[in-house]
Amino acid sequence: MYKNILPGLSGLLLLLTCCAATAQNQVMKIGKINTVNISGQQIKINAENAFAEITVYSPSVIRVRMDKQPLTADFSYAVIAKPVTTKTQIAQTDSEISITTDSLRMRITKRPFSISFFTPSGEVINEDEPGLTTSWIGNDVTTYKKMQEGERFIGLGEKTGNLDRKGEGYTNWNSDVFGYATNKDPIYATIPFYVGIHHHLNYGIFFDNTFQSDFNFGASNNRFSSFGARGGEMNYYFIYHPQMADIITSYTSLTGRMPMPPLWSLGYQQNRYSYYPDTEVMRIAQTLREKKIPADGITLDIHYMDAYKLFTWNKDRFPNPRQLTSQLKDMGFKITVIVDPGIKVEEGYAAYENGKKENIFLKYSDGENYTGQVWPGWCHFPDFTSMKGRDWWKGQIKSYIRDGVSGIWNDMNEIATWGQKMPDNVIFNYEGHPVTHQQGHNIYGLQMVRASYEGTREELKKRPFLLTRAAYAGSQRYSALWTGDNRAEEDHMLLGVRLLNSLGVSGMAFTGMDVGGFTGNPTVSLYARWMQIGAFIPYFRSHTGINTKSAEPWTFGEEVLEISRNYINLRYHLLPYLYSTLFESTRTGMPVMRTLALNNTFDAKVYDTRFQNQYGFGNAFMIAPFESTKEFGKIYFPEGKWYNFYTDAVIDGQQEVTTDLSIKILPVYVKESSIIPMQSLIQSTIEKPVDTLFLHIYKGDKTNTFVYYEDDGESFDNEKGVFYQRAITYNPADKKIVLEKTAGSYQSKFHYVKLLLHGFSSQKSITINGSQLSLQAGTHAFLSPISRFDPQGTFIPADSCLIQQATFGNSNELINVGL
Helix (H) and strand (E) counts for the chain?
Answer: 12, 53
| Domain co-membership, 491 together with 562 | yes
Question: What is the Rg, in whole angstroms, of the alpha carbon atoms belonging to the chain?
Answer: 28
Co-location of 542 and 687 in the same domain: no
> Which one of the listed residues 53, 151, 414, 490 is annotated catalytic?
414
Tell me what the mean pLDDT of segment 144-165 comes to.
98
The domain boundary residue, chosen from 228, 255, 282: 255
Residues 56 and 137 in one domain: yes
Domain presence at residue 141: yes
Query: Could you tell me if residue 728 is inside a domain?
Result: yes
| Per-residue pLDDT reduced to its tens digit, 529-545 | 999 999 999 999 999 99
pLDDT in the model for residue 5:
37
Q: Give the Å distances, CA to CA, from 551 to 28, 202, 244, 287, 530.
A: 56, 43, 39, 13, 12
Digit-coded pLDDT (tens) for 225-264: 999 999 999 999 999 999 999 999 999 999 999 999 999 9
How many angstroms separate the CA atoms of 341 and 344, rounded?
Answer: 10
What's the mean pLDDT in 506-525? 98
Distance CA 507, CA 733 (A): 35
Domain C-terminal end among 541, 576, 594: 594
- Asked, for residue 3, whether it belongs to a domain, the answer is no
Neighbours of 395 (CB within 10 A): 15
- Overall pTM > 0.85: yes
Does residue 703 share a domain with residue 606?
no
pLDDT at 705 over 80: yes
Quote the domain boundaries for residue 608.
601-671
- Please indicate, yes or no, whether residues 428 and 570 belong to a single structural domain of this protein: yes
Per residue in 382-439, pLDDT tens? 999 999 999 999 999 999 999 999 999 999 999 999 999 999 999 999 999 999 999 9
- For residues 166 and 288, state if they share a domain: no
Q: In this structure, what is the dihedral angle of CA atoms 511, 566, 634, 702, given to the nearest 10 degrees?
A: 70
Question: At residue 812, does pLDDT exceed 80?
Answer: no
pLDDT at 802: 52
228 shares a domain with 303: no
Q: Quick check: is 814 in a domain?
A: no
User: How many alpha carbons lie under 13 Å from residue 146 in its C-beta half-sphere?
Assistant: 14
Do 667 and 679 belong together in one domain? no
pLDDT digits (tens, 9 = 90+) for 438-464: 999 999 999 999 999 999 999 999 999
Is pLDDT above 70 for 39?
Answer: yes
User: 807 near 815, Cβ under 8 Å?
Assistant: yes
Question: Is residue 778 pLDDT above 90, yes or no?
Answer: no
Q: 621 and 693 in one domain? A: no
Q: Is the pLDDT of residue 697 over 60?
A: yes
Q: Please report which confidence band the pLDDT of residue 800 belongs to, taking 50, 70 and 90 as the band edges.
A: low
Q: Please tell me the total count of domains within the chain.
A: 4
Cα distance between residue 172 and residue 188, in whole Å:
9
Q: Residue range 487-502: average pLDDT? A: 98
CATH of the domain at 35: 2.60.40.1760
414 is catalytic: yes
State yes or no: pLDDT of 16 exceeds 80: no
In a domain, 409, yes or no: yes
How many residues can be counted in the chain? Answer: 819
Question: Is 20 a member of any domain?
Answer: no
Taking the C-alpha atoms of residue 481 and residue 757, their distance in angstroms, rounded to an integer, is 36
Lowest mean pLDDT among 62-71, 107-116, 756-765: 756-765
Q: Average pLDDT for residues 606-630, to the nearest whole number?
A: 98
pLDDT confidence of 809, banded at 50, 70, 90?
low
Among 530, 561, 594, the domain boundary falls at 594
Q: What is the pLDDT of residues 67-89, one digit of tens each?
A: 999 998 889 999 999 999 999 99
Contact status, residue 695 vs residue 680, Cβ threshold 8 Å: no
Q: How far is CA 229 from the centre of its chain?
A: 23
| Residues 625-668: tens digit of each pLDDT | 999 999 999 999 999 999 999 999 999 999 999 999 999 999 99
- Given the residues 340, 485, 552, 559, the one annotated as active site: 485
Regarding whether 371 and 237 lie in a shared domain, the answer is no
pLDDT score for 788: 28
Residue from 278, 411, 490, 714 carrying the catalytic annotation: 411
Percent of the residues in the chain that have a pLDDT greater than 90, as a whole number: 89
Examine residue 365 and state whether it is found in any structural domain, yes or no. yes
- Cα–Cα distance measured from residue 235 to residue 57, given in angstroms and rounded to the nearest whole number: 13
CATH code where residue 605 lies: 2.60.40.1180
> What integer pLDDT is reported at residue 698 of this predicted model?
96
Q: What is the CATH number of the domain that holds 293?
A: 3.20.20.80
Same domain? For 630 and 742 the reply is no
Q: Is 316 a catalytic residue?
A: no
283-287, 322-326, 754-758: range with lowest mean pLDDT? 754-758
Statement: residue 20 has pLDDT above 60 = no
Counting residues of the chain whose pLDDT is more than 70, the rounded percentage is: 92
Residue 71 lies in a domain: yes
Sheet containing 593-595, strands listed edge to edge, beginning at the edge strand earlier in sequence: 593-595, 615-617, 621-623, 668-671, 641-644, 650-652
Q: What integer pLDDT is reported at residue 763 of this predicted model?
A: 85
Same domain, yes or no: 681 and 754:
yes
Least confident of 354-363, 602-611, 748-757: 748-757
Question: What is the Cβ-side half-sphere exposure of residue 68, based on CA atoms within 13 angstroms?
Answer: 13
Give the dihedral of Cα atoms 325, 329, 333, 339; nearest 10 deg.
Answer: 30
Q: What is the pLDDT of residue 765?
A: 85
Q: Which of 50-64, 256-270, 311-325, 744-758 has the lowest mean pLDDT?
A: 744-758
